Amino acid sequence: MTTSGAACPPSRPAGSPTNLLVRARELSAATATVAALPELRFVLDHIAKPRIAEGHDELWRARLPALAARPNVGVKLSGLVTEADWANWTAEDLRPFVRFVVDRFRRGARDVRLRLAGLPAGRLPTGRCPPDWPTHWAR
């Protein structure tokens, strides 16, 4: 994209993914953006921050699959507990959201385009993490 006819210089090495830091309300715009730029790679940060504390996020569930279907998009599992009940969250609170994401980003039996991230920063709100992180989340 350009402004006043001048190309912006690259801000990262060629081929590095661009982070998508969005919420459910912005998923449609993110999907349109990645569709318009198929030569670029993108990573959805924090699984688009669904409303984990509420136990559901219907807008997120409705809009995430279109973005996940784009071949140039991966996802980063991080920052999940910040959307949960900080004082009382459990792995069971996170599991349905993680499972939904893993199922949508899977490309065949062994290919899931995701990164596990956010530790230790992802546990700052509560200072704790299940002992078998990261396998605990997506069982």
pLDDT of 33: 96
Window from 16-30, 84-98, 114-128 with minimum mean pLDDT? 114-128
Domains of the chain: 15-123 (3.20.20.140)
137 compared with 92, residue with greater pLDDT: 92
Output the pLDDT for position 3: 43
**pLDDT > 60? residue 119:** no
In the chain, pLDDT over 90 holds for what percent of residues? 49
- Under 8 Å between Cβ of 61 and 47: no
Among the listed ranges 15-19, 69-73, 112-116, which one has the minimum average pLDDT value? 112-116
Residue 59 has pLDDT above 50, yes or no: yes
Enter the tokens of residue 44. Answer: 């959805």
Predicted confidence band of residue 120 (pLDDT cuts 50, 70, 90): very low
Please determine, for residue 130, whether its predicted confidence score (pLDDT) is greater than 90: no
Q: Which residues pair with 74 in a beta bridge?
A: 43
- The stretch 47-65 carries a mean pLDDT of 97
Report which residue type is found at 104.
R
- Residue 10's pLDDT is 53
3-state SS of 3-54 is ECCEECCCCCCCCCCEEECCCHHHHHHHHHHHHHCCCCCEEEHHHHCCCHHH
Q: Helices 58-68 & 27-36, crossing angle to 10 degrees?
A: 10
Tell whether the model's pLDDT for residue 12 goes beyond 80: no
